[in-house]
């Protein structure tokens, strides 16, 4: 009868479904499983400027120099270097370095990697690459980088993922699909990448440096904080980050786990659109600042994580006086007075933010506190694309955004945010101030030393007075690991490194 | 068997009721439908008088009292800002009902008109409209709503439009179907004969006669609109804070599900009960309005 | 039959072009400049201009759309992702297996649970089982999938520690998302099976079968079930189509790397080609499933087969 | 009513229904579908079972088959003695052997009586396999034979029901019913759903086959014309009871019960030139709330006060002519009329 065949269909479907399901494979500890928040967008080092992708690139590639948490530079693919002048850096390359495809890394590859970053393909990291004029090949193992302008911050930026050295041959062969087929010199090579879920890297046995002690690195993307913590607790993940505030205690007090906290080089801020009335008036900006209990807002929104910044430079960035500034005190009377002086009455404004929970929370409290001085406000939570687009259109009033300083040089903490030339790019306050621009230019033109330090101190104090933005939060990098995971330490730029990790029984 | 079922209509002892009274009478026989009706009426009452009924303003923060579990002061506890969850749920009812009913209103108006026109005129107009509906129907409703919500941007009104437009084909189909079955009936012919205009015939004669399936679909439609809207808010394409939309409340509380489950439990329960009530009511109405089941 | 299938496929083309047009229009109207999204907030005006020119974003709307359709039909090319630069088809195919697995699992669960429940409910109409089944079915219908998902995580992952809340790699990890996704389908299939069975059991031909002296079990499981299954099969097919597309919320709660999540992420990233391709793909999948259901329908109902000429 | 058994010898009696009461218990009340029904059918006889819609004819038939849907149907009391055995005492398994094998039924609507998703040969073969000890192939061959017997070409045996016309479908139903040579054939308004022209053909076929198979038949109908055509005896049913039972000739020549008379009067007579039909005044009573005493008394022109008080017993007003109306039976006995 027909019914029998129906039954058969059902059975086949069932069997099919189970086949699809497959079975999980339990592995010996030759694999490190990391639970990250997001997946990498691309593994092409110059096609992104986001942290998860940078983390992937960090394991796949090497840069000419390495910079540690404290900003100390050490040799990478370049064994040594020499500053020929303010605009000419000479690098002596390491010999015998192999790409994952077996080819040797040569000067040609380095030149190709850096010059490729200056083309449109590198639009996302143009801040770093735009100053490169040329890369000159002296011989197979020597290159000279020529800059357009003196900029001492450029050197350390080479340690950023944009400075990763890629194989010229492999990149040209892969064309547009290079982002999925990376070929670097790093300690790991890509095995598989299931987008939105996980990528699997395998130890590169011809690596020139110290080889990782385990074979496979698996990085899963687990967007839900609760799920990440559970993965850690159940042993499904060896390392998990970020850990959110309400799980801090849970991870910290778990005997099988270790909690790591590290101040992060980032600043979340409440920006003003200074081209729009009345926010072009410094008194209005100061008045609003006075009305806000920033310490309370930060504490309530971030709940024990991070701190309220004193200046624009995060504490770990060179020349920061972040920790020397006394905490801000809410002063409603002062706020009212300042607004009155500015002739502002019945102000109505919008506070924009993206979906990130802490920012929405902050906006919600800011809204409540502004109401106390008679400012009515409306919160608009926008998804990322619409948010950035809206900011470009200059119609916003107040907005909450963050800035991560990937390279611990003070220039990168300020220039992209507030320099006149960054208008139309990432300067969403549209702050354009000749005094600041001059300070930034001077800061770049000086090598590290007391002179440079003085300039950045002045810059920080100047910005605290000008107030194009109210600093809200310096974040922390927080990660949890299994107790047997050793050699891991979160990095303040969030580009955590897994190559030194090993397991202790 | 046929004797038995045929015997039933012969029961003529009861007074026959007309219209609404009859529907209500039949509805009353289904306890689940009555539960649905009463629940929705109560919810509507709460929504309308939220300002009076809610113990606190929905946006009132009290950071000293955050994450409190239910107590006598805060019946359903407080959220991460110390806002009273009960008050937020009460105001949330207003938003959810608004979204549900207005979205269905939009869908009903647009879909009803399109369906009526398509069914009434037939021919290429019918073909054109219904092919367009096919196009919309071949994109699943949730996806369609997301696409529309994404392009309109977040916000209460946009949410209603997104959810409403996504539901248009349902109503267009129903109304067209009813119109087709009614169009050729004698009283329509009669109306045409006395020179009624097309619009008048559609509005006065055809639409009221396709009311039963529309009412049922609308009731169930409000449920799915509320659900859809909550889903969109849940993934961040819906209502903006501090407005207490249930789906957004749920989404906001999910991070705290291990420590403070009441942040997610109550909004979820509110959504579920509302949808349940509407579904029960819709089912009951279908039974009450379906002439095939008239006893 | 083959002619019928061909005709159905032919009819699909204008519908899909319509879908493409609607999506294209929607995204065209969407705020957010793809060039800026892809090149980043530090990109120069010049780079943005060049990008727009290269991707044809500076062309008039209709031209952009015409170009898209032309390429799609002639070369099967539905564009490249702005972000990964890979063909959109590759992006979708990379995520589709997860969605397919999820939907297949969910529909299997739904049928395995819903069908027997529905049949039992119908056979034992008005029994305690029937009443409970119907109430649970209604609750299942009313349960927001994102809430159910969270509750399942709370129970099975947080408290009982039986099943992981994320990671779609192992069989264990697939259980919760499939379960959450299947809830609505279970309910619908149970209700549909029950009412269909009830209707069929009252049918004259069932009485005929009984009057032949046939065993009650054969009457129910052969005569009644086969007829009752006809609308249920349609529902299952439709449900499967909806599950394919409707997994968006489930995928985002359980971090399933499927098409739904790809779509949501792409919407957020302004990756227009992927969104367009994705919606189109889902529409095609949906239509194909519907076509298959109709064919299956013909297979189990000879009356319908007769109409497919 | 023991007196009744005297008229027929037990040997010749195929079916004897005694005091059968069937009710449907629903939420809104109890439907008295069949009330203390008595009926008998001899071997080879054809009994016409006549009454209005809702009188309980089909329920009686289903009662004989033990196919009353339960719930809500309940057989309250009575005996259904078939070939000397009470069907109501039989187990379900024993009953299955009776159904189809000894008693077969033809239902009213051929359009819905056949399983739409099964080919007709299989539907006939199903019956054959259940009651004859034959294999699959043999049963299909026999099914083909049956189809030919009812006038359908053998080539069409693999067709589905929807491929046949209404009359053809009823032929298939008849083929199913007669496939196992049943002793009793119950035909529930077999032609009502058919076109008038087809009706005659089907009736003719049934008559012919009944003769050929030497079966008894219980023909349920409301068409007195059909009864006149093929029946030997007639039972008139009203509100769940048999009110008159006689052989055809006696009933047609001297109907006694006022209801029977009303029925005859409401048949249009082409010979007479009347302006309007004589209809029975009033409506069928609500089966949930039957009038006390004789259920017909509110509509009866002969009703006396006594009629509304006690249920009239069945009395033999003439040889083999039973009627449950004391008033009219009395008239007959007195030689009136």
Compare all CA atoms of chain B with the CA of A300 and give the residue at the minimum distance.
B63
Asked if residues B136 and B210 have their Cβ atoms less than 8 Å apart, the reply is no
Q: How far apart are the first and last CA of chain D?
A: 25
Asked if residues B120 and B180 have their Cβ atoms less than 8 Å apart, the reply is no
Please judge whether C241 and B140 are an interchain contact, meaning their C-beta atoms are less than 8 angstroms apart. yes
Cα A438 from chain centre:
27
Q: Residue A272's closest CA among A447, A431, A154, A39?
A: A431
Q: How far apart are the first and last CA of chain A?
A: 61
Please judge whether D162 and C212 are an interchain contact, meaning their C-beta atoms are less than 8 angstroms apart. no
Measured distance CA(C149)–CA(A43) in Å, rounded = 32
Please judge whether B142 and C248 are an interchain contact, meaning their C-beta atoms are less than 8 angstroms apart. yes
Span B265-289, average pLDDT? 88
CA distance B186 to chain C (A): 31
pLDDT band, residue B277 (cuts 50/70/90): very high
pLDDT of D131 reads: 81
More confident of the two residues D22 and A239: A239
CA distance B196 to chain C (A): 36
Tens of pLDDT, residues C71-123:
887 887 787 787 777 788 888 888 888 889 999 999 999 999 999 999 999 88
Same-domain status, A168 and A288? no
Q: In the predicted model, what is the mean pLDDT of chain C?
A: 83
Please judge whether C138 and B280 are an interchain contact, meaning their C-beta atoms are less than 8 angstroms apart. yes
Note whether residue A74 is domain-resident: yes
Please judge whether A426 and C108 are an interchain contact, meaning their C-beta atoms are less than 8 angstroms apart. no
Chain B positions in Cβ-Cβ contact with residue C244 (cut-off 8 Å): 140
pLDDT of D332 reads: 55
Asked if residues A148 and A444 have their Cβ atoms less than 8 Å apart, the reply is no
Please judge whether B139 and C286 are an interchain contact, meaning their C-beta atoms are less than 8 angstroms apart. yes
* The residue to which tokens 């002045």 are assigned: A458
Note whether residue B49 is domain-resident: no
Q: Residue A399's closest CA among A419, A381, A416, A412?
A: A381
Q: For D214, left (φ over 0), alpha (ψ -120 to 50), or beta?
A: left
Domain of A134?
64-172
Chain D positions in Cβ-Cβ contact with residue B13 (cut-off 8 Å): 286, 289
Compute CA distances A94 → A38, A105, A204, A366, D22, whole Å: 34, 9, 17, 53, 102
pLDDT band, residue A395 (cuts 50/70/90): confident
Please judge whether C139 and B142 are an interchain contact, meaning their C-beta atoms are less than 8 angstroms apart. no
pLDDT of C32 above 70: no
Note the maximum CA span of chain B: 74
pLDDT of A78 above 80: yes
Note whether residue A503 is domain-resident: no
Asked if residues A398 and A387 have their Cβ atoms less than 8 Å apart, the reply is no
Please judge whether D73 and B11 are an interchain contact, meaning their C-beta atoms are less than 8 angstroms apart. no
Work out whether strand A476-482 and strand A469-473 pair parallel, antiparallel, or are unpaired. Answer: unpaired
* The residue to which tokens 């955050």 are assigned: B66
Least confident range from A371-385, A408-422, A471-485: namely A371-385
Tens of pLDDT, residues C175-201:
999 999 999 899 999 998 998 888 888
pLDDT of C37 reads: 66
Note whether residue A225 is domain-resident: no
Measured distance CA(C222)–CA(A1) in Å, rounded = 9
Asked if residues D205 and D151 have their Cβ atoms less than 8 Å apart, the reply is yes
Chain C positions in Cβ-Cβ contact with residue A197 (cut-off 8 Å): 98, 167-169, 255-257
Measured distance CA(A418)–CA(A436) in Å, rounded = 8
pLDDT of A349 reads: 93
pLDDT of B79 reads: 79
Q: Which of A380-389, A443-452, D110-119, D254-263 has the highest mean pLDDT?
A: A443-452
Q: What is the CATH number of the domain that holds B65?
A: 1.10.3720.10
pLDDT of A24 above 80: no
Q: In the predicted model, what is the mean pLDDT of chain B?
A: 79
Q: Kindly give the interhelix angle for B19-28 and B262-289, rounded to the nearest 10 degrees.
A: 120
Per-residue tokens: C285: 């999948």
Per-residue tokens: A395: 């119609």
Per-residue tokens: C133: 């089944």
Chain B positions in Cβ-Cβ contact with residue C263 (cut-off 8 Å): 143, 146
For chain A, list residues whose CB is within 8 angstroms of any CB belonging to chain B. Answer: 224-226, 229, 244, 246-247, 250, 296, 300, 355, 357, 360-361, 363-365, 367-368, 379-383, 386
Q: Residue C96's closest CA among C197, C273, C244?
A: C244
Same-domain status, A316 and A427? yes
**What's the whole-model pTM score?**
0.78
D3-102+182-333: in CATH 3.20.20.70: no
Q: Which of residues 204-223 of C touch A (CB under 8 A)?
A: 221-222
Length of chain D: 337
Length of chain C: 309
Same-domain status, A331 and A443? yes
Q: Is the peptide bond before B242 cis (omega within 30 degrees of 0)?
A: yes
Tens of pLDDT, residues D108-128:
887 788 888 888 888 888 888
Asked if residues D176 and D123 have their Cβ atoms less than 8 Å apart, the reply is yes
Compute CA distances B284 → B30, B217, B219, C40, whole Å: 7, 12, 10, 55
Tens of pLDDT, residues C120-153:
998 888 889 998 998 899 898 888 888 898 899 8
Measured distance CA(C204)–CA(C212) in Å, rounded = 13
User: Residue D181: what are its φ and ψ, rounded to 5°?
Assistant: 55, 60
| Count of domains forming chain B | 1
CA distance C108 to chain D (A): 25
pLDDT of A206 above 50: yes
Please judge whether D59 and B3 are an interchain contact, meaning their C-beta atoms are less than 8 angstroms apart. yes
Cα D163 from chain centre:
29
Span B212-221, average pLDDT? 84
pLDDT band, residue A2 (cuts 50/70/90): very low
CATH numbers and ranges of domains, chain C: 16-74 (no CATH), 99-308 (1.10.3720.10)
Length of chain A: 505
Work out the percent of chain A whose per-residue pLDDT is above 90.
52
pLDDT of A186 reads: 93
**Preferred mutation among B35, B135, B220, B280 to probe C, highest tally of C CBs within 10 A:** B135
**DSSP-derived secondary structure letter, A49:** -
| Count of domains forming chain A | 2
Q: Residue B220's closest CA among B274, B173, B268, B177?
A: B274
pLDDT of A472 reads: 94
The SS3 call for residue C65 is helix
User: Residue A504: what are its φ and ψ, rounded to 5°?
Assistant: -115, 120
Same-domain status, A303 and A164? no
Kindly state whether C295 is in contact with chain A, defined as any CB-CB distance less than 8 angstroms. Answer: no
Measured distance CA(B282)–CA(B274) in Å, rounded = 12
pLDDT of A295 reads: 93
Note whether residue B42 is domain-resident: no
Same-domain status, A157 and A273? no
CA count, 13 A, side-chain hemisphere, A340: 7
pLDDT of B10 reads: 36
Q: What is the CATH number of the domain that holds A139?
A: 3.90.76.10
Measured distance CA(D2)–CA(D127) in Å, rounded = 37
Note whether residue B239 is domain-resident: yes
CA count, 13 A, side-chain hemisphere, A48: 25
Compute CA distances D267 → D200, D225, D258, D274, D276, whole Å: 18, 9, 15, 12, 11
pLDDT of D115 reads: 84
pLDDT of D152 reads: 82
Please judge whether C158 and B258 are an interchain contact, meaning their C-beta atoms are less than 8 angstroms apart. yes
The SS3 call for residue D311 is coil
How many beta-carbon contacts under 8 Å exist across B and C? Answer: 121
Tens of pLDDT, residues B6-44:
333 333 334 444 566 777 777 777 788 888 899 999 999
Cα A117 from chain centre:
18
Work out whether strand A376-381 and strand A398-404 pair parallel, antiparallel, or are unpaired. Answer: unpaired
Span A268-290, average pLDDT? 93
Domain of B114?
61-275
pLDDT of B4 reads: 37
Q: For C10, left (φ over 0), alpha (ψ -120 to 50), or beta?
A: alpha
Compare all CA atoms of chain A with the CA of B252 and give the residue at the minimum distance.
A357
Cα C234 from chain centre:
14
Work out the percent of chain C whose per-residue pLDDT is above 90.
12
pLDDT of B73 above 70: yes
Chain C positions in Cβ-Cβ contact with residue D107 (cut-off 8 Å): 204, 207-208, 211
pLDDT band, residue C252 (cuts 50/70/90): confident
Per-residue tokens: A371: 């109401």
Residues in chain D predicted with pLDDT less than 50, given as ranges, are 1-8, 335-337
pLDDT of A18 reads: 46
Domain residue extents for chain D: 3-102+182-333
More confident of the two residues C132 and B196: C132
pLDDT of D335 reads: 46
Q: In the predicted model, what is the mean pLDDT of chain A?
A: 87
pLDDT of D4 reads: 43
Same-domain status, A289 and A144? no
pLDDT band, residue A385 (cuts 50/70/90): low
User: Residue B223: what are its φ and ψ, rounded to 5°?
Assistant: -60, -50
Measured distance CA(B185)–CA(B177) in Å, rounded = 14
Compute CA distances D135 → D128, D132, D316, whole Å: 9, 9, 51
Chain B positions in Cβ-Cβ contact with residue A367 (cut-off 8 Å): 59, 242
pLDDT of C189 reads: 92
Asked if residues A428 and A247 have their Cβ atoms less than 8 Å apart, the reply is no
pLDDT of A94 reads: 93
Work out the percent of chain C whose per-residue pLDDT is above 70.
94
Of C209, C215, C216, nearest to D115 by CB-CB distance is C209
């Amino acid at each position: 009868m027909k019914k029998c065949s129906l039954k058969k269909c059902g059975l086949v479907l069932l069997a099919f479904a189970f086949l699809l399901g497959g079975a999980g494979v339990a592995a010996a500890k030759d694999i490190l499983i990391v639970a990250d928040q997001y997946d990498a967008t691309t593994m092409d080092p110059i096609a992104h400027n986001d942290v998860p992708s940078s983390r992937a690139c960090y394991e796949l590639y090497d840069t000419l120099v390495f910079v540690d948490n404290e900003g100390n530079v050490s040799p990478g693919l370049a064994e040594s270097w020499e500053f020929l002048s303010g605009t000419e850096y000479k690098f002596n390359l390491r010999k015998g370095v192999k790409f994952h495809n077996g080819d040797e890394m040569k000067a040609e590859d380095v030149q190709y990697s850096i010059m490729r970053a200056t083309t449109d393909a590198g639009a996302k990291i143009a801040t770093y690459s735009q100053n490169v004029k040329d890369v000159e090949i002296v011989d197979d193992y020597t290159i000279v980088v020529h800059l357009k302008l003196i900029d001492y911050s450029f050197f350390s930026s080479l340690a950023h993922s944009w400075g990763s050295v890629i194989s010229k041959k492999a990149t040209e062969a892969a064309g547009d699909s290079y982002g999925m087929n990376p070929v670097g010199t790093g300690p790991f090579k890509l095995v598989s990448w299931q987008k939105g879920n996980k990528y699997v890297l395998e130890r590169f046995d011809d690596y020139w440096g110290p080889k990782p002690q385990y074979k496979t690195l698996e990085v899963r993307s687990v967007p839900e904080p609760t799920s990440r913590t559970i993965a850690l607790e159940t042993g499904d993940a060896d390392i998990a980050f970020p850990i959110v505030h309400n799980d801090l205690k849970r991870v910290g007090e778990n005997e099988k786990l270790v909690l790591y906290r590290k101040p992060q080089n980032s600043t979340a801020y409440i920006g003003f659109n200074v081209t729009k009335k009345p926010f072009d008036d410094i008194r209005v900006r100061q008045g609003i600042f006075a009305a806000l209990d920033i310490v309370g807002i930060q504490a309530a929104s971030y709940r024990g994580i991070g701190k309220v910044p004193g200046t624009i430079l995060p504490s770990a960035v060179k020349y920061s006086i972040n920790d020397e500034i006394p905490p801000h005190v809410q002063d409603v009377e002062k706020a009212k007075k300042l607004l009155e002086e500015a002739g502002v009455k019945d102000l109505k404004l919008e506070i924009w933010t993206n979906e990130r929970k802490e920012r929405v929370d902050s906006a919600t409290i800011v809204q409540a506190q502004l109401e106390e001085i008679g400012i009515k406000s409306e919160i608009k939570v926008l998804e990322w694309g619409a948010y950035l687009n809206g900011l470009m259109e200059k119609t916003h009033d107040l907005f909450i955004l963050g800035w991560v300083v990937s390279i611990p040089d003070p220039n990168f903490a300020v220039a992209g945010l507030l320099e006149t030339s960054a208008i139309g790019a990432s300067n969403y306050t549209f702050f354009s101030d000749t005094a600041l621009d001059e300070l930034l230019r001077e800061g770049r033109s000086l090598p590290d030393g007391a002179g440079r330090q003085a300039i950045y101190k002045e810059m920080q104090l100047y910005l605290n007075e000008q107030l194009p933005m109210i600093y809200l939060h310096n974040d922390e990098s927080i990660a949890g690991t299994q107790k047997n995971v050793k050699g891991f330490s979160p990095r303040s730029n969030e580009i955590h490194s897994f190559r030194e990790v090993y397991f202790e029984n | 068997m046929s004797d038995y079922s045929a015997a039933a209509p012969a029961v003529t002892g009861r007074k026959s009721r007309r219209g609404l009274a009859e529907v209500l009478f039949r509805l009353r026989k289904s306890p689940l439908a009555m539960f649905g009706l009463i629940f929705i009426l109560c919810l509507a009452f709460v929504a309308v008088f939220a300002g009076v009924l809610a113990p606190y303003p929905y946006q009132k923060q009290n950071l000293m009292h955050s994450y409190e579990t239910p107590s006598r002061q805060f019946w359903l506890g407080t959220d991460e800002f110390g806002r009273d969850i009960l008050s937020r749920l009460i105001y949330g009812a207003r938003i959810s009902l608004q979204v549900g009913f207005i979205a269905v209103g939009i869908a009903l108006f647009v879909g009803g008109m399109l369906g009526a026109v398509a069914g009434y005129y037939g021919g290429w107009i019918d073909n054109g409209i219904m092919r367009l509906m096919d196009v919309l129907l071949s994109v699943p409703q949730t996806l369609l709503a997301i696409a529309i919500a994404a392009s309109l941007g977040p916000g209460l009104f946009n949410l209603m439009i997104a959810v409403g437009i996504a539901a248009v084909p349902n109503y267009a189909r129903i109304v067209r179907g009813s119109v087709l079955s009614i169009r050729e009936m004698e009283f329509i012919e009669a109306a045409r004969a006395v020179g009624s205009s097309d619009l008048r015939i559609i509005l006065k004669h055809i639409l009221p006669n396709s009311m039963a399936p529309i009412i049922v679909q609308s009731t169930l439609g409000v449920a799915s609109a509320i659900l859809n809207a909550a889903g969109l808010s849940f993934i961040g394409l819906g209502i903006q804070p501090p407005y207490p939309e249930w789906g957004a409340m749920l989404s906001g509380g999910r991070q705290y599900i291990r420590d403070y489950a009441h942040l997610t439990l109550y909004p979820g329960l509110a959504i579920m009960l509302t949808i349940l009530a509407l579904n029960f009511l819709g089912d009951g109405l279908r039974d009450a309005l379906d002439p095939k089941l008239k006893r | 039959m083959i002619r019928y299938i061909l005709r159905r496929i032919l009819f699909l083309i204008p519908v899909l072009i319509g879908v493409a047009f609607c999506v294209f229009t929607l995204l065209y109207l969407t705020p957010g400049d793809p060039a800026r999204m892809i090149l980043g907030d530090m990109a120069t005006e010049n780079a943005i201009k060049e990008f727009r020119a290269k991707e044809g974003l500076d062309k008039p709307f209709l031209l952009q759309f015409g170009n898209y359709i032309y390429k799609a039909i002639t070369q099967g090319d539905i564009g490249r992702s702005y972000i990964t630069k890979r063909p959109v088809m590759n992006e979708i195919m990379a995520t589709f297996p997860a969605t397919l697995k999820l939907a297949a699992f969910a529909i299997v669960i739904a049928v395995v649970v819903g069908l027997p429940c529905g049949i039992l409910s119908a056979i034992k109409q008005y029994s305690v089982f029937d009443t409970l089944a119907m109430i649970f079915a209604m609750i299942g219908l009313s349960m927001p999938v994102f809430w159910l998902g969270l509750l399942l995580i709370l129970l099975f992952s947080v408290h009982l520690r039986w099943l992981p809340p994320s990671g779609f790699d192992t069989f264990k990890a697939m259980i919760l998302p499939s379960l959450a996704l299947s809830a609505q389908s279970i309910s619908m299939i149970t209700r549909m099976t029950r009412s269909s069975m009830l209707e069929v059991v009252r049918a004259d031909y069932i009485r005929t079968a009984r009057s032949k002296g046939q065993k009650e079990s054969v009457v129910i499981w052969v005569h009644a079930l086969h007829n009752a299954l006809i609308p249920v099969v349609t529902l299952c097919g439709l449900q499967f189509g909806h599950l394919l597309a409707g997994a968006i919320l489930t995928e985002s709660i359980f971090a399933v790397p499927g098409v739904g999540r790809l779509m949501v992420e792409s919407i957020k990233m302004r990756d227009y080609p992927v969104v367009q391709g994705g919606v189109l793909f889902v529409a095609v999948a949906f239509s194909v499933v519907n076509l298959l259901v109709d064919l299956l329908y013909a297979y189990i109902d000879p009356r319908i087969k007769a109409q497919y000429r | 009513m023991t007196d009744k058994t005297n008229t027929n010898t037990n040997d010749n009696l195929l079916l004897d229904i005694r005091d059968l009461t069937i009710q449907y218990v629903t939420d809104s009340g109890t439907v008295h579908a069949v009330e203390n029904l008595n009926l008998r059918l001899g071997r080879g006889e054809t009994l016409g079972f006549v009454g209005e819609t809702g009188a309980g004819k089909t329920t009686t038939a289903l009662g004989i088959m033990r196919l009353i849907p339960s719930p809500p149907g309940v057989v309250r009391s009575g005996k259904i003695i078939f070939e000397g055995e009470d069907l109501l005492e039989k187990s379900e398994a024993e009953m299955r052997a009776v159904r189809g094998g000894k008693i077969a039924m033809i239902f009213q609507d051929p359009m819905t009586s056949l399983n739409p998703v099964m080919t007709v040969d299989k539907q006939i073969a199903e019956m054959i396999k259940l009651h004859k000890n034959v294999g699959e192939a043999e049963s299909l061959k026999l099914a083909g034979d049956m189809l030919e017997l009812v006038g359908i070409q053998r080539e069409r045996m693999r067709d589905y029901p929807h491929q046949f016309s209404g009359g053809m479908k009823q032929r298939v139903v008849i083929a199913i019913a007669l496939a196992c040579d049943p002793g009793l054939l119950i035909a529930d308004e077999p032609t009502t759903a058919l076109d008038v022209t087809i009706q005659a053909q089907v009736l003719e076929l049934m008559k012919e086959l009944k003769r050929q198979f030497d079966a008894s038949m219980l023909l349920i109908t409301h068409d007195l014309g059909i009864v006149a055509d093929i029946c030997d005896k007639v039972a008139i049913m009203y509100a769940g009871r048999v009110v008159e039972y006689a052989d055809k000739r006696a009933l047609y020549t001297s109907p006694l019960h006022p209801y029977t008379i009303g029925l005859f009067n409401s048949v249009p007579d082409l010979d007479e030139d009347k302006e309007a039909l004589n209809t029975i005044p009033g409506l069928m009573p609500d089966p949930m709330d039957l009038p006390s005493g004789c259920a017909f008394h509110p509509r009866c022109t002969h009703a006396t006060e006594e009629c509304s008080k006690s249920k009239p017993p069945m009395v033999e007003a003439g040889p083999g002519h039973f009627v449950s109306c004391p008033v009219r039976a009395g008239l007959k006995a007195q030689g009136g009329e």
